[in-house]
A and B are shown apart, each in its own frame.
Chain A
Amino acid sequence: MLTTILKNGLTRRKLLGATAAAVGSAATASLLPKAAFAAGKVIKIGFLAPLTGPVSAWGKPGLDGCQIWAEWVNAAGGIKLADGNHMVEFIGYDNEYDPAKARTGATKLVREDEVKFIMMLGGDTWPGAQPVADTTGMLFSTLLPSDLSPDTTTLLAPAEVHPIYNVTGVEWLAENKPDLKTAVMCAQDDALGLPSVATYLAAFEAAGIEMQDAPLLFDPATTDFAPVVTKMLSTNPQIVCLDTAYSDYVHPICEQLFQQGYKGQIISCTADFYEQILEKTSVEFMEGFIFQFPDFDDPALNADFINFQEPNRFYEEYSKRHPGEWGAVSWEYASIMDLWRAAAEKAGSAEPDAVLAAMKEGGKGKHIFGDAEWWGKDLFGIDNALVGNWPVVVIESGKARIKGFKSIPEWYAKHGDLMKKHMAAYGQMWNQRT
């Protein structure tokens, strides 16, 4: 074996040098004082999300982002609690967006791995994990606040107030392109699409934009979107709204809009991997496309009110490790961990009840996009969603750029009744969900 290695270009001198360096490093490490974190002091965090399967794009990139977060935090000394510093370790469990697997995973993470906090995508998988939360008191987070209800006080939506933040995109559109007055919308008929439909309907009504047709719902198994697009374009809309759709839908719908000659405004919750859409359409076609998730190399994220450690460097590191995989959730779970870490250090403990109390103290919190408040009693029956500003992102010359941050609570203070009306019409109020 050694002969083979040497034949393949590694000289004896290099080998001896490397061996010496390795031995030296090991010796040095063994002599270092154990100051940074005591052996065995590791806090485990559960990551219970779809890591494979059709919805994995909203799980796996989040875990990848969390690994970078953990490396940075651990390198800086770890989490500082009352009993010393602790390293952070993420324990992933692939629930494949299946409620039964979510329940198994939640049980395993709590009972076997003894995690202190579990992050989920939520949605269809939350009902699976909910009994575990209720029986163990484990602190959970979801990206979908429509999972919130007074039944589970330990479920938080600390990063993403999906789909409520979609109102900011419509509000910005109405302010900046006031001549656009008619819209159509399509959405997949699922737990993600329907509350977003209600939100967009409320936002369009508040903005004085007329819906030309009822939202066109399609089966999540749809692969050919030509009929959907044909129907939407049949009324000559000025705005086409893509609701909150997975990239498997957003990309082919955009391509169809392009192929069927649409030249108007597009608004969407997400535009993950939008470079690929650009390649399938054109820079001109995508100009002005509005969505809600910035690239983290955006200079606007360097503002003082942003509560995220070095967003530009995070984006650079992420893109280096996972080229072309940056998406809406790449930063979200990491931003939840920022909030969790601040609360744990404030409480001096990683125990779920202590962290929860510290996190919600005073009803205020540091959301990634600025100061925010714990909110949601109206819509979710419990103030467990952290809501503040949200960015409006527009594609300009082929690149996503933040055009501004708009306040969700301010919009809701003016138009909350509209939101409740449309949520109720789609059966999405917390007390309507089964």
Chain B
Amino acid sequence: MVELLAQTGLNAIYAASYMSLVAVGLVLIFGVMGVINFAHGELFMLGAYTVVALYADFQLPFLFAVAVGLVFVGVVGLGMERALFRPLRDNPLGGLVASIGFLMILQALAVMGFGVRMEHVPPVTQEVIVFSEKVRLAVPRLFVIVAAVVLLTALWAFLKKTRFGWALRASAQDPEAAALQGISINQTSRIAMFIGAGLAGIAGALTAPLVSVNPYMGHSVIVSAFIVIIVGGIGSLEGAVVAAVAYAFVHTIVTTFWDGVIADIVGLSLMLVVLIVKPTGLFGTADRA
């Protein structure tokens, strides 16, 4: 039983890691720009396909492909901000609708570029850290955990310690007041979009060898991410991380001890309970809820 619990804990830490990367990016975009980016799952998918193209097809180093995935998807995010979200800034539903359209475009582009089949990404390494006979952690999963810790710590430091970070937080709290203080809303939106999209991109890139890469892989990710940000509180980065960890542990434990289908029901029930008891989410504020 101890080994089972330990292995379940490792599984949950991995799930929490990549879910945190995706959810924090989604929250950052919403917090600063007020846009619910439905195409966020497809940004995750783009990151995965970057690895397919560079690492699997062109056989470039995996970490290089991951780095390109972060930057490339971040740049796609910049394009979304400029072409989709900025012109629709005054339209509360415009950004949401535009993101839904964009996700379909990204899916179609992936289908056109790579086909509808599941892409094969060779393993980065087959090394496994063996804690005991039944407690093991594959090194590629460790990459994801380490990357999540490093990137989220760096993001925290960026937001707390730098001028750009203060500007982002100010824009998230009160865009009009921030603008009156001379903070460029366009610039903070660009930064938020680059970071948010880049986080989704690197999550997709890092997990590409571990999941089935196909044009529709973003769907399951975005559903879980929405549960996480609703539970954590829409707009709260801390809430997203805490909720990602909680959701991952609950889902993993219920799957391991009961059933994967029951785990989904429990996850959704958790979201409903939070919405009923605290509609703003665990860390949310009434302004953005």
Contacts and interface: CB of A to CB of B under 8 A. Distances in A.
A218 B264 CA distance: 9
Contacts of B4: 230, 234
A57 B122 CA distance: 20
A261 B134 CA distance: 7
Interface in A189-235: 189, 216-219, 221-224, 226-228, 230-231, 233-234
Contacts of A255: 123, 210
Interface string B93-135: 0000000000000000001000011101011001010100110
Interface stretch (B149-157, B171-179, B188-196, B255-263): B255-263
A11 interface: no
Nearest to A55: B116
A305 interface: no
Nearest to B265: A219
A310 interface: no
B289 interface: no
A259 B128 contact: yes
Contact of A219 (B116, B133, B136, B260): B260
B93 to A, nearest CB: 26
B11 to A, nearest CB: 4
Interface size class of B (residues with CB under 8 A): 35 or more
Given A233-B134, A251-B212, A279 B122 contact: yes
Interface residue range, chain A: 35 or more
Interface stretch (B63-71, B213-221, B269-277): B213-221
A222 B220 contact: yes
B223 interface: yes
A425 B146 CA distance: 45
Contact of A260 (B136, B216, B220, B255): B136
A223 B260 contact: no
Interface in A268-290: 273, 276, 279-282
Contacts of B141: 226
Interface string A32-75: 00000000000000000001111011001000000000000000
Contact of B15 (A56, A224, A228, A233): A224
A416 interface: no
A305 B136 CA distance: 48
Nearest to B130: A261
B211 interface: yes
B228 to A, nearest CB: 14
Interface in A56-111: 56-57, 60
Given A261-B134, A273-B120, A189 B256 contact: no
Interface in B230-289: 251-252, 255-257, 259-261, 263-264
B120 A223 contact: no
Given A252-B212, A255-B123, 8 more contacts: A189-B261, A217-B260, A217-B261, A218-B259, A223-B211, A228-B260, A248-B118, A261-B128
21 contacts: A52-B116, A53-B216, A216-B259, A218-B259, A218-B261, A219-B263, A223-B217, A223-B221, A226-B252, A227-B15, A227-B263, A228-B255, A231-B257, A247-B212, A248-B118, A251-B212, A259-B128, A259-B138, A261-B133, A279-B122, A280-B123
